[in-house]
Chain A
Amino acid sequence: MGTTAPEESAPTGLVFDVKHFAVHDGPGIRTTVFLKGCPLRCGWCHSPESQNPRPEIAFYPDLCIGCAACVEACPNGAQTMDPVKIRRELCTGCGACADACYAGSLVKFGDRITVEEVIREVEKDRLLLETSGGGVTLSGGEPVAQSQFASELLRSLKREGYHTALDTSGYAPWEVLEDVARHADLVLYDLKHMDPRAHEELTGAPNDLILSNLRSLSQQGSKTIIVRLPVIPGLNDSNENIEATAKFLGGLGGIEAVELLPYHNLGATKYEALGWEYLLSHLDPPTGERLEEMRGLLEARGLRTIVEGVD
């Protein structure tokens, strides 16, 4: 398997999951396609396997039966039994170990697949998606980082008659984002912090492009935009930041709703499985009262606000 996709007329994408019966990624019941690779590095990210733009291997030690099939399978000597671990510096993410691991202890995240393959998988759900007023959501990672594939996939989905949604951080050159978003009926647009310095500290990137892209998108006025705010206690949930956010969004117009996504640490075990350190384990999810206070601040600016898990 090559590390870079050959240039073809039918683009492939690096996809790490297709979730059927997704209920939190837009209206109705949806099928969500998760694209791998993200330019941001948010410490609270609940799917760390989505970040690297190449296949990688997760290891869940609880499921390991010690059969050593992975050691035999690995062409690069990256698997060892004593101790049982992956020598990450040798791993190319080829997935030979995961293929050999019947226990599911080693899992490969990231497969190169074509638009047609995705459409075929989505097609299985068509009746349910239509019955529920749902559709297909592209999420990630950052789908726009694989712009050619994402754009082609959304275009094909539209042609097939699906409602489409794009879940994006907005961190991409405007022309690229515009090209992908063109085929989306709905954009779920993440906003992490209003302050440029804080944003860079929390995500590894400045927010100027994100804010200007959101402004441009809203000015188009051609699609529904829901802005999603991850609420990370102590990091971005100050009244000051929420008020700044409310002011910015209130000034844009054309924002359908703001959705508050309360922090949770359900992704923590995945960090461990990828051999990463999870730095936010000390955080508690925000309280219901705090979320309601935030809702109040946003609604004061005329922004319809949804709290995930409450509304």
Chain B
Amino acid sequence: MGEPNRIETLKENLTRLVRVERTGERPTILTDATAGLEPLPIRKARALVRLLSEAPIHIYPEELIAGIPLGEEPIEAQGGGSVDRGLPTESVSGLGYITKAEGYIERGLSEEPYDPVLIGLQGYAASTTYGLFPHYATEEEKAMARRLGLDENSNPGHLQAGHARVLTHGWSGLKATAEKKLEALQGAGKGSTKEAVFLRSVIIALEGAQTLASRYSKLAEEMAGIEGDPRLRDELREISRVCRDVAQRPPETFREALQLHWFTHLVCSTQGARQLGRFDQYMYPFLEKDLEEGKLTTEEAQELLECLWVKYNMVTDFSMDNLQNLILGGQTPDGRDATNPLSYMCMEATEHLGLIDPKWSIRIHGETPDGFLRKACEIMKSGTYQPGIYNDEAIIPALMSTGILAEDARDYTNDGCSELLVQGKTNPWAFEGKVLLLKCLERAMRGLEGYEAFDDLMEAVKEEISIAVEMAVSNLNLVQSAVPLISPNPFVSATVEGCLEKMRDLTEGGAVYNSSAVCASGVADTADSLAAVKKLVYEERRIGKRELLDALRGNFDGRERLRLMLLNRAPKFGNDDEYVDGLAAELVEHAHVEVAKHRNPWGGRYILGLFSYGSYIGHGIVTGATPDGRRAGEGISPNFSPAPGRDVKGPFAVFKSTTRVDQQLTANGTALDLAIHPSALRGPGGVEKLISLIKSFRELGGMQVQFNVVDAEVLREAQREPEKHRNLTVRLWGFPAYFVRLPREFQDHIIARTDHPF
């Protein structure tokens, strides 16, 4: 069927939603008669219930899936008008990376070779529920947390809820499991144990979600009562029924599954978990059944899906890093190709709507259908959206090498960006630990005059890396231990496998897998620097040690010729040159060995990732001039990519360089960003060329790659006239974003990377 104008109306609705303007104090539940004396997890759950019972709710015209983000309200409530969410305003999360680095310099932290402050955990400031989520911790609890930079909403970033599990059991089923376990404990006289407290917190949190769904059911019923148009009246009654039913039982139809998923996502979004996992896998059984039973046509299903797709775009941090990532295709847990009709429908929805959320990526392996890869490449080529590409054949064995079972490893997903995790079974801590390789080099270089041979320098760099890893891990372990004391997570715990089974909160090691990660930035710049010193100082003796140190200290002032020698007369990572690629491989191997030595507080392993995220600007700000010819303060290489503009031999040479680094050592993931000029993909053969590139990447054993098919000239034009380019998207560290909404520093960095495209 499908209403011809429904989607347009829904898109229009996006301009009519704003964050709740709240003046005065945040509410509190500590004054409630019964709440004040309860254990922390119960108070957290009650605070969530309060939010879910009181936050504004609204159903827009023509909607089939109901629910606005918690902490937002329709603009009508604030006097009407509309908000242009496509306007070029600077993104908060992008700027954060810059102000953070500047703060380090002010506070004397800029010499640290690891990231000492985990701002990613301060959830409220970036949350739509800021100012609405009630206080639930005592002053003592809060004071203690503050010492580690934590607050009441400090959730690990890049957390993922178990969406599949929710659809299988429903909130009601999860609640019933918790109730049964609680009864058993109470029966055994263990009703006040920590486990019992956890189970109670889960039950309360799930009831909160049921309350939210019931409020929507009631609202829809009321709206139907006064609706004059019979079609809309029927649709509202159906919304009411679906909301009422999914509150109390597992979903039975595609539409019910979408609605329950959306409510779950809204609640999880307030608890730090916005990742969406393998949407096409957990949602398809519902679609398949409806189609088989003739309850739904493909066209109706597409409309329902697009109704949900528009919804994701209501999340306020709309411009950038809102972590709403899902992944399509890949393998089933038993190793077959997992691509299904819904995988294609998801891509079509994005293509049709032209909206940036939800972010999605694709998984590929030897049996990936050509049509699936082709569809993704066509979208990439058009420049409207840039999915990340994940290679199962590299990723699955890498995950298994960290102790993950094969069937779980095959069920991996990316998280908020490009980190890898087993969906619905993991408490990832994939993002917070950070080591700055280039900073390690900078510190080691201070002793250059004492190093007789190049190997001595290499050893000194490795020593710095070892220390940096140790520091990052100690810091992160301290924080991980402290999070359950301030911010337990009962709702997300209910969804993640292992927590109910072990009767333990996610933040306390409840999940099946409890890995933590250290992410290393600056692989390319560090290898480039080492190669330059090795060749020009130690082998060819064209530069003296003292001369180099003086030049670096003086930021190459008056030494431009020396800088250009370092830049242009030594091999650079990304050009299929073993000389420098081998150094990169050695660095990563050492980092891996060091990282793998450590365990987190829950006994989980530490694993290595190669990510800078947006810190390729910030890590540059805190790092002085380096022997690769980079001036002080200039941005570094993004993620696992070559340094901007230094890869001159085409994308395949970049693949060769990156795959000289053992991808099995980076089980937390890598991200390789490549720019391709649109002219290289012109004509009907263009898509074939992109497909070939991706297949060759897979055959080389690369882990993850993402393409920006964009002309630097167009980006410059967009800087000059942003209003004409508001829909121009570029891929950042793990997700696409609207170019004109990025801070200028990020725009310039992307242009530098795009200026020498292939």
A residues engaging B (CB < 8 A)?
Answer: 19-21, 23, 28-29, 65, 67, 69, 102-104, 124-125, 127-128, 131-134, 309-311
| Cβ-neighbour of A311 out of B564, B569, B683 (below 8 A) | B683
A104, B648: Cα distance in complex, Å: 14
Quick one: given A21-B758, A65-B564, are A128 and B682 in contact (CB under 8 Å)?
no
A128, B697: Cα distance in complex, Å: 9
| Cβ-neighbour of A127 out of B567, B684, B696 (below 8 A) | B696
A21, B689: Cα distance in complex, Å: 10
Quick one: given A20-B649, A20-B653, A311-B683, are A131 and B564 in contact (CB under 8 Å)?
no
| Cβ-neighbour of B692 out of A29, A103, A124 (below 8 A) | A29
The reply to whether B656 and A124 contact each other, CB–CB distance below 8 Å, is yes
| Cβ-neighbour of A132 out of B561, B567, B569, B692 (below 8 A) | B692
Quick one: given A128-B692, A131-B695, are A69 and B561 in contact (CB under 8 Å)?
yes
The reply to whether A21 and B568 contact each other, CB–CB distance below 8 Å, is no
A133, B656: Cα distance in complex, Å: 19
Q: Which residue of B lies closest to A130 (CB)?
A: B696
Give the Cβ gap from B627 to chain A, nearest Cβ, in Å.
Answer: 14
Quick one: given A20-B649, A128-B696, are A104 and B568 in contact (CB under 8 Å)?
yes
Give the Cβ gap from B468 to chain A, nearest Cβ, in Å.
Answer: 32
A311, B565: Cα distance in complex, Å: 43
Besides A21-B650, A23-B681, A102-B568, 13 more A-B contacts (Cβ < 8 Å) are A19-B650, A21-B649, A21-B651, A65-B561, A104-B568, A124-B652, A125-B652, A127-B652, A127-B696, A131-B692, A131-B695, A132-B688, A132-B692
A23, B677: Cα distance in complex, Å: 11
> Residue-by-residue, is B575-586 near A (CB-CB < 8 Å gives 1, otherwise 0)?
010000000000
B contact face: mostly helix, strand, loop, or mixed: helix
Give the Cβ gap from B174 to chain A, nearest Cβ, in Å.
Answer: 47
The reply to whether B684 and A311 contact each other, CB–CB distance below 8 Å, is yes
Q: Which residue of A lies closest to B698 (CB)?
A: A131
Q: A133: which B residues are within 8 A, CB to CB?
A: 692
The 5 closest A-B pairs by CB, nearest first: A21-B650, A132-B692, A102-B564, A20-B650, A128-B652
Q: Which residue of A lies closest to B691 (CB)?
A: A132
The reply to whether A102 and B650 contact each other, CB–CB distance below 8 Å, is no
Q: Which residue of B lies closest to A69 (CB)?
A: B561
Q: Which residue of A lies closest to B682 (CB)?
A: A309
A127, B696: Cα distance in complex, Å: 6
Q: Which residue of A lies closest to B758 (CB)?
A: A21
Q: B564: which A residues are within 8 A, CB to CB?
A: 65, 102-104
Q: Which residue of B lies closest to A309 (CB)?
A: B682
| Cβ-neighbour of A65 out of B560, B567, B696, B699 (below 8 A) | B560
A28, B758: Cα distance in complex, Å: 15
The reply to whether B693 and A128 contact each other, CB–CB distance below 8 Å, is yes
The reply to whether B700 and A310 contact each other, CB–CB distance below 8 Å, is no
Q: B565: which A residues are within 8 A, CB to CB?
A: 102
Quick one: given A67-B560, A309-B682, are A127 and B650 in contact (CB under 8 Å)?
no
The reply to whether B683 and A20 contact each other, CB–CB distance below 8 Å, is no
A67, B562: Cα distance in complex, Å: 11
Give the Cβ gap from B114 to chain A, nearest Cβ, in Å.
Answer: 34
- Check B680 for interface membership: any CB of A closer than 8 A: yes
Q: B696: which A residues are within 8 A, CB to CB?
A: 127-128, 131-132
CB within 8 Å of A: which of B133-156? none
Q: B653: which A residues are within 8 A, CB to CB?
A: 20, 124
Q: B649: which A residues are within 8 A, CB to CB?
A: 20-21
Q: A310: which B residues are within 8 A, CB to CB?
A: 683
A23, B684: Cα distance in complex, Å: 12
B residues engaging A (CB < 8 A)?
Answer: 560-561, 564-565, 567-569, 576, 649-653, 656, 679-685, 688-689, 692-693, 695-696, 699-700, 758
Q: Which residue of B lies closest to A65 (CB)?
A: B560
Q: Which residue of B lies closest to A124 (CB)?
A: B576
Q: Which residue of A lies closest to B577 (CB)?
A: A124
Q: A309: which B residues are within 8 A, CB to CB?
A: 679, 682-683
A223, B237: Cα distance in complex, Å: 70
The reply to whether B692 and A67 contact each other, CB–CB distance below 8 Å, is no
A133, B689: Cα distance in complex, Å: 9
Give the Cβ gap from A71 to chain B, nearest Cβ, in Å.
Answer: 13
Q: B679: which A residues are within 8 A, CB to CB?
A: 309
Q: Which residue of A lies closest to B683 (CB)?
A: A311
Q: A131: which B residues are within 8 A, CB to CB?
A: 692, 695-696, 699
Q: A311: which B residues are within 8 A, CB to CB?
A: 683-684
A311, B576: Cα distance in complex, Å: 32
The reply to whether A102 and B699 contact each other, CB–CB distance below 8 Å, is no
Q: A128: which B residues are within 8 A, CB to CB?
A: 652, 692-693, 696
Quick one: given A67-B561, A104-B568, A128-B693, are A20 and B680 in contact (CB under 8 Å)?
no
A296, B243: Cα distance in complex, Å: 61
Q: Which residue of B lies closest to A132 (CB)?
A: B692
Give the Cβ gap from B663 to chain A, nearest Cβ, in Å.
Answer: 16
A127, B695: Cα distance in complex, Å: 10
The reply to whether A29 and B656 contact each other, CB–CB distance below 8 Å, is no
Q: B693: which A residues are within 8 A, CB to CB?
A: 29, 128, 132
The reply to whether B689 and A23 contact each other, CB–CB distance below 8 Å, is yes
Q: B561: which A residues are within 8 A, CB to CB?
A: 65, 67, 69, 102-103
A85, B356: Cα distance in complex, Å: 52
A133, B693: Cα distance in complex, Å: 11
Interface core residue of B569, B680, B692 (most chain A CB under 10 Å): B692
The reply to whether B692 and A23 contact each other, CB–CB distance below 8 Å, is no
Q: B685: which A residues are within 8 A, CB to CB?
A: 23
The reply to whether A127 and B758 contact each other, CB–CB distance below 8 Å, is no
Q: Which residue of B lies closest to A21 (CB)?
A: B650
What are 14 A-B residue pairs whose CB atoms fall within 8 Å in the complex?
A19-B650, A23-B681, A23-B689, A28-B689, A29-B652, A29-B692, A102-B561, A104-B564, A124-B652, A127-B696, A127-B700, A131-B696, A134-B692, A309-B683
Give the Cβ gap from B63 to chain A, nearest Cβ, in Å.
Answer: 43
Give the Cβ gap from A224 to chain B, nearest Cβ, in Å.
Answer: 16
A65, B564: Cα distance in complex, Å: 10
A20, B700: Cα distance in complex, Å: 17
Give the Cβ gap from A165 to chain B, nearest Cβ, in Å.
Answer: 15
Give the Cβ gap from B543 to chain A, nearest Cβ, in Å.
Answer: 12
Q: A69: which B residues are within 8 A, CB to CB?
A: 561
A65, B565: Cα distance in complex, Å: 12
Q: B695: which A residues are within 8 A, CB to CB?
A: 131
Q: Which residue of A lies closest to B561 (CB)?
A: A67
A21, B568: Cα distance in complex, Å: 22
A134, B560: Cα distance in complex, Å: 42
A204, B115: Cα distance in complex, Å: 66
A153, B651: Cα distance in complex, Å: 25
The reply to whether B689 and A20 contact each other, CB–CB distance below 8 Å, is no
A133, B695: Cα distance in complex, Å: 12
Give the Cβ gap from B636 to chain A, nearest Cβ, in Å.
Answer: 22
A99, B561: Cα distance in complex, Å: 13
A63, B76: Cα distance in complex, Å: 58
Q: B576: which A residues are within 8 A, CB to CB?
A: 124
Quick one: given A102-B561, A104-B568, A131-B699, are A21 and B680 in contact (CB under 8 Å)?
yes
Q: B656: which A residues are within 8 A, CB to CB?
A: 124
The reply to whether A102 and B683 contact each other, CB–CB distance below 8 Å, is no
Interface core residue of B560, B567, B650, B680 (most chain A CB under 10 Å): B650
Interface core residue of B653, B685, B693 (most chain A CB under 10 Å): B685
Q: Which residue of A lies closest to B700 (CB)?
A: A127
Quick one: given A21-B652, A23-B680, A309-B682, are A28 and B560 in contact (CB under 8 Å)?
no
A132, B694: Cα distance in complex, Å: 10
Quick one: given A20-B653, A131-B696, A311-B684, are A29 and B689 in contact (CB under 8 Å)?
yes
Q: A19: which B residues are within 8 A, CB to CB?
A: 650
